[in-house]
Amino acid sequence: MRNGMGIIEELLGDGLAKVKVNKDQLYVACSACIGAEHVFVTAHNEIGAKEGQAVRYEVEDRHLIAGAFMCFIVPLVAALFFGIIAYEGGLSLGYEGNALTVAGVLAGLLISGLLMRQYDHVLSKNFDTKATITDIILDDEEEEDEGRSCLD
- Tell me, what's the pLDDT at 145? 52
Span 46-51, average pLDDT: 90
Q: Are residues 120 and 68 in the same domain?
A: yes
**Is pLDDT above 70 for 46?**
yes
Q: Are residues 69 and 120 in the same domain?
A: yes
**Is pLDDT above 60 for 142?**
no
Residues 6+ apart with CB under 8 A from 50: 8, 11
Tens digit of each residue's pLDDT (9 = 90 or more) over 64-109: 677 778 888 999 999 999 999 999 988 888 887 688 899 999 999 9
Side chain identity, residue 6: G
**Is pLDDT above 70 for 36?**
no
Q: Are residues 68 and 111 in the same domain?
A: yes
Question: Does residue 111 lie in a domain region?
Answer: yes
Q: d(Cα 101, Cα 45) in Å, to the nearest integer?
A: 49
Q: Which residue segment(s) compose the domain that 75 sits in?
A: 64-124
The CATH number of whichever domain residue 140 belongs to comes to: 2.40.50.140
- Tell me, what's the pLDDT at 143? 46
Taking all residues of the chain, what is their mean pLDDT, rounded to a whole number? 79
Side chain identity, residue 82: F
**Where is pLDDT greater, at 30 or 123?**
123
Q: Are residues 68 and 97 in the same domain?
A: yes
Q: Are residues 57 and 8 in the same domain?
A: yes
- Tell me, what's the pLDDT at 2? 76
Side chain identity, residue 62: R
Domains in the chain: how many in total? 2
Closest CA to 43 of 6, 69, 1: 6
Q: Are residues 103 and 132 in the same domain?
A: no
Cα dihedral sign for 56, 128, 38, 50? negative
Q: Are residues 112 and 68 in the same domain?
A: yes
Question: Does residue 13 lie in a domain region?
Answer: yes
Q: What φ, ψ does residue 28 adopt, rounded to 5°?
A: -130, 145
Question: 3-state DSSP call for residue 127?
Answer: coil
User: What is the DSSP track for 87-103?
Assistant: HHHHHHTT--HHHHHHH
Side chain identity, residue 87: Y
